Every structure is written in C-alpha cells, then in structure tokens.
Structure 1
Amino acid sequence: MGNTLPCMPKKGARGAARSASKRNSRSGRNTTSEEEMLHRQALSMVLQQHQLSQRFDGSMSRRIGSTSSRRKNLSENFSNGRQVAEFIGNIEIKKFVLVHGEGFGAWCWYKSISLLEESGLQPIALDLTGSGIDHTDTNGVATMAEYAKPLLDYLQSLPEDEKVILVGHSCGGASISYALEYYPKKISKAVFLSATMVSNGQRPFDVFSGELASAEVFMQESQLLSYGNGKDRSPTAFVFDKQYIKGLYFNNSPPKDIALAAVSMRPIPLKPIMEKLSLTPEKYGAVKRYFVQTLDDHMLSPDIQEKLVRENPPHGVYKIKGSDHCPFFSKPQSLHKILLEIAQLP
C-alpha cells in the first residue's frame, strides 16, 4: 500500500480544490487580521495607561470588562447557536471576576473577556492595588488587605443575593483566598489558575520557595528587589528582569502578547506575598475550589502544582496541555472551555 500512487484529480476537481484553497486562505487572512487588530487595541490601551489613569478613577474593569477532574470537550456538548443559548441559560452564576497575578493587571485578561462576553457571560477584570493602571506606588503596599482592597470592595458592593465566580491567576490565588475568608457568601466558586492555593498559616511566597529559595535567602541574595524605604530597610517590591520573563512566563505565548506584557508588567508588592494567611474551614472552606494545571509551565512547575493539589485538595482539577504559566495568552480557548464547564457545575 505504501507504493501505491495517489489518483490524479480530474481537471474540475483541481479547480474546485483551488477555489477551496483560496477561500481557506482568505478565511485565514481574516482570522489573522482580527487577531492583529485585537493585539493592536490591547497594546494601544497599555501604552496609554498613564494618560488613562489621570482621566479615570477606579479599576480597569470599568473599561475593558462588561457589566474536577472531568476533561470533556465542551464543543461536543452543542453544535448550534440554539444549543449554546440553552447551555448558557442553564448557568446560574454568569458573572466572572478575573483576578490577575503578580506584576500583571486587568489588561492580561483581554482574550478571556472577549470569549466570555461572546458566550453571554459577564466578565469583570480588576486591577489590584499598585497594578495595571492603578497609580498607587507598589512600594507602599504593605499588607494583603491593601493589595486585595479593589477585590474586597467589589465583593462588598454586590447585592446580598448576588454571587460571582472568582478566577485567580498565579499569586492572584492568594488574593482570592483572602477574599474567600471575608466574603464566602458572595462567592459561588473559586478557580485557581496555576495559582498559589495556600493552606492556613502559609505565605503565598512559600509556594514558590521550592523553586526559588527560602524566603530568608531570597531576601538576602536577590538582585531584583526594590527598596522603596531605603537600603537600610526591608525590601518593598520585586522586579522581574525583562529578559527572563519570556522563558518563565510566556514560553508558549504569542510574540505580540509577550510584547504587551513587557511594556505592561509592574513591580510586585513584596510584603503581601510574605504574609501568612489565616484561612478557616467555616469561611474559606465553605466555597468550592477548582484548580487548573498548566502542563508546560516554567514559572510554577507541574510538580509544584501537583503538590498544591495534594496538600490542599480542591473539588476538581483540570489540566491544559501545552500551556505556559499564562493560559489566557497561550491557550485561551482551552481555558475558556474549562471556565464554561466549571460555571455549569452545581
């Protein structure tokens, strides 16, 4: 069979094939053009952050947001618009609050925001204190309460009978854990996206300590620390060297998203991630948690992610193959399907 030559197509068939090829080519160009337009818009938004911060008061959500172990492909659940509408209609909690990780801001969720909105859901992306276009000096953010204040304020503002689904990325896992302890009745589910899902009495930094160093050694030897209160005082922030972020965070992300991150990421407040969190079974433990593992992650290795799941078991675990630390860039469709599936769980 290996020596059999393929049948030559007839002239009409060749013409049809060429026409189909042209149509596919045009479709591909249209898709690429749309992606490039999205990237340009996102990049333009970030480059204008300083101007925007002078004109607007509040989080980025007002501008870019709108108001388990099962791994089935959700696209198999429905094949037409009516089925999609029925599926979304069955989701009780439609509001997603997207919480960025260290150095990021609300801007990093732009693909997820678009996909969730197209699905009829309501994404809200927040800038934590000193992040995104929030102009607070990062060096002055001293506690988790200060850092997570925009999230806590948002949850507090919700009507009594309204709940949301929280999604926290990377160190944003500590922020949503903190919120779970204070507002468990406002949160339907919590999704930890390659995130610091800490246990009671644990520091967010401890999650990374196995791959970096102990907190004490890190504080003494790191060359990437910022001393906002003077060299004779404790360090106040952590600044990643831009030449390393691609290999750590974005090893599978598109070049345009890496460029977006390179001009947008800000220093990380150090004291909040060095703070031990108090998490109780009655509050933190009352909300269902789901962990999303990223299997090609260079920042938070799959082994560390497995360790987090073992030590603080969630209600469900999902895995994204081929994703780096930032699936909202590298695997946005896969992440979106997981979020839809979690949303439909009782």
Structure 2
Amino acid sequence: MYRIMKESRKRFVLVHGVCHGAWCWYKVKPVLERAGHQVTALDLAASGVNSKNLADVHTLSEYSEPLIKFLESLGEEEKVILVGHSLGGMNVAFAAEKFPEKIFAVVFVSALLPDTSHQPSYVMEKLFEELPPDAFMDSEITYEVGGKLSSTIFIGPKCLASKLYQHSPIEDLALATTLTRVGPLLGNDLSNIGNKFSEERYGSVARFYVVCKDDNIVSEKFQLWMTQNYAVREVIELQGADHMAMFSAPQDLCAALLRVARSTPG
C-alpha cells in the first residue's frame, strides 16, 4: 500500500512530547519503514531511556541535545523530515533554527507551533490561558523560584486517561503509565526574548501541521489558531485522534506523514 520509488525515500526523525520518549512511536516507525523510508525515533534529554538527570536540564538547548547531536552527525547532503509531537514542537523548531539546511520539512503533530515574532513561550502562555485551572487534574507541576511559568510536569494517570489517551487503546495507556517520566516545561527559558526564532532560519523551512480533532489538552480550536498565528504550508486533520495520535490513529498519522514526504522535493 505504501510502496514508493527509491528516489522519493526520505529520513524521518520522530520527536516525542513531554514526559514521553521514543517508545511512543512504536506503531508509526515500522509503517514508515515498510514504505521505504528511514526512521529515527529519539529520546530527548532526561526522557525515555536517556540517562541525563532532569536537574541538569534547564534550557531548550540542553533538552534538545540528543536531537542536535543527531543532526550534526548527518552527512553534508543528508536532509530529514522532522516530526514533533506536543511540546516536541519546540524541539523541532529549535533544530530548524540551527540546521535549516538539513531539513526538508517540519511536521507539528498537535504540537506547540512557535512563531518568529514572539519569544517561544508565547504559544505556551496562550495555551495555559485557555485551559481551565484543573485541566491537568492529578498531574504535578513545579515552578522555578520567582518564575511565573511552569518548570517541570509529571502527567498523572487520571490526566493521561481523560485528557491525552481517551481514544487510545487501553494497552497503550497502560504503557504510558509505566514509562512516562517527569519532564521539563522550561517556562523561564522559553520566555527569554533572546531565544526568539528567526524568519531567516526556522522560518525558511517548510512547515506542516497535523490537527488532532479530539485532543482534550491542545484543543482543535487552539491548534488551528496556532496555524493562523504562524502560517504553515498545509494543515492535515485527523478525525477521531486524541492528543496521542500515534496511538489513537496511527494509520491516519502515517498516511499524513507519507503525504508530507510525497509533497517534499528531494
């Protein structure tokens, strides 16, 4: 079904959201590989099986280190399609800012989509303003001393079940309750005006947005607002997908990613 011509093969780099790890792409990776693409799923710093201590992750740069090292390791002519989920949108935007020449396209999957007019925290601040006070239910959120924005989060099991995985198979919810870790939100670093992304670098990379229409954390309305706040090449909507589209709608998500690959020259 997904066979492609050799010259159309791409390399995908899959970047997870906060508290998660490379493990969350286990349904997506083999489908893309079966279609003939190369696929790398990475653990960000202090995530998944990455051994870095969360106490040593204070900045988006430190959090993104495994992704940046991977891109640095690519050959001069190698380019990738970056896929960022949820907070991972910040990581792929950061990577696009550093290495626009190495990237065919960036795909945001129900992800935070920063712009080049504001500091990266802008969309996160807008999201938290939209959410009710109890949106994260039994999750544990911490703040840096004197900081107004969140520093770390551990998503509680009730929040996982009701807000992120409500349409996902119960086996995947069980996997998440076993494997999720406390993750960085980096509010203070993202709010630093000096960390703004540039139109010349990040802004020059083709951007696609995959809307998860049944997302209970990043609402469909908010996802579409982000694509209006900072234009993308195409918006692809997934019916019936909760926040974790890789579990609730893996085939549809793969079809969306393959669509991006076909529309990307090279």
Which residue of the partner structure matches residue 208 of structure 1? 127
Q: How many residues align?
A: 253
Alpha-carbon contact 1:140-1:236 (below 8 Å) kept? no
Which residue of the partner structure matches residue 165 of structure 1? 81
Q: Which has the higher contact order (CA 8 A, sep 6+)?
A: 2
1:91 correspondence with 2:8 = yes
SS at match of 1:159: coil
Alignment match of 1:257 (pick from 172, 194, 200) = 172
- Counterpart CA distance in 1 for 2:257 and 2:89 is 16
- Counterpart CA distance in 1 for 2:238 and 2:225 is 17
Alignment of 1:157-196 (within 5 A): 157-196=73-112
Specify the code of the residue in structure 2 equivalent to 1:106. Answer: A
Alignment match of 1:333 (pick from 220, 245, 251) = 251
Q: Note the residue ranges of structure 2 that are not aligned, 5 or more in a row.
A: none
Larger mean Cα displacement after TM superposition, 129-138 or 201-210: 201-210
Q: Which has the higher helix share?
A: 1
Alignment match of 2:19 (pick from 86, 103, 121) = 103
Compute the displacement of 1:271 (Å).
2.1
Aligned CA-pair RMSD = 2.2
- Counterpart CA distance in 2 for 1:88 and 1:330 is 29
Which residue of the partner structure matches residue 304 of structure 1? 222
Specify the code of the residue in structure 2 equivalent to 1:134. Answer: N
Deviations 1:117-158 (A, max 9, x none): 111111100000010011222233100000001001111111
Larger mean Cα displacement after TM superposition, 261-270 or 98-107: 261-270
User: Taking every aligned residue pair, what percent have the same amino acid on both sides?
Assistant: 35
Compute the displacement of 1:113 (Å).
0.7
Which residue of the partner structure matches residue 34 of structure 1? none
Q: Which has the higher strand share?
A: 2
TM-score, normalization: structure 1? 0.69
1:269 correspondence with 2:184 = yes
Specify the code of the residue in structure 1 equivalent to 2:185. Answer: L
Which residue of the partner structure matches residue 284 of structure 1? 202
CA distance 1:240–1:109, shift in 2 (3 Å): same
Q: Note the residue ranges of structure 1 that are not aligned, 5 or more in a row.
A: 1-74, 76-83
Alignment of 1:63-142 (within 5 A): 84-85=2-3, 87-92=4-9, 94-142=10-58
Alpha-carbon contact 1:147-1:272 (below 8 Å) kept? no
Max radius of gyration: which structure? 1
Deviations 1:99-129 (A, max 9, x none): 0011110000000011111111111000000
SS at match of 2:155: coil
Compute the displacement of 1:243 (Å).
1.7
- Counterpart CA distance in 1 for 2:132 and 2:111 is 18
Alpha-carbon contact 1:246-1:258 (below 8 Å) kept? yes
Alpha-carbon contact 2:139-2:159 (below 8 Å) kept? no
Specify the code of the residue in structure 1 equivalent to 2:11. Answer: K
SS at match of 2:114: coil
Compute the displacement of 1:206 (Å).
2.0
- Counterpart CA distance in 2 for 1:210 and 1:250 is 22
TM-score, normalization: structure 2? 0.88
Compute the displacement of 1:330 (Å).
0.4
SS at match of 2:173: helix
- Counterpart CA distance in 2 for 1:272 and 1:114 is 34
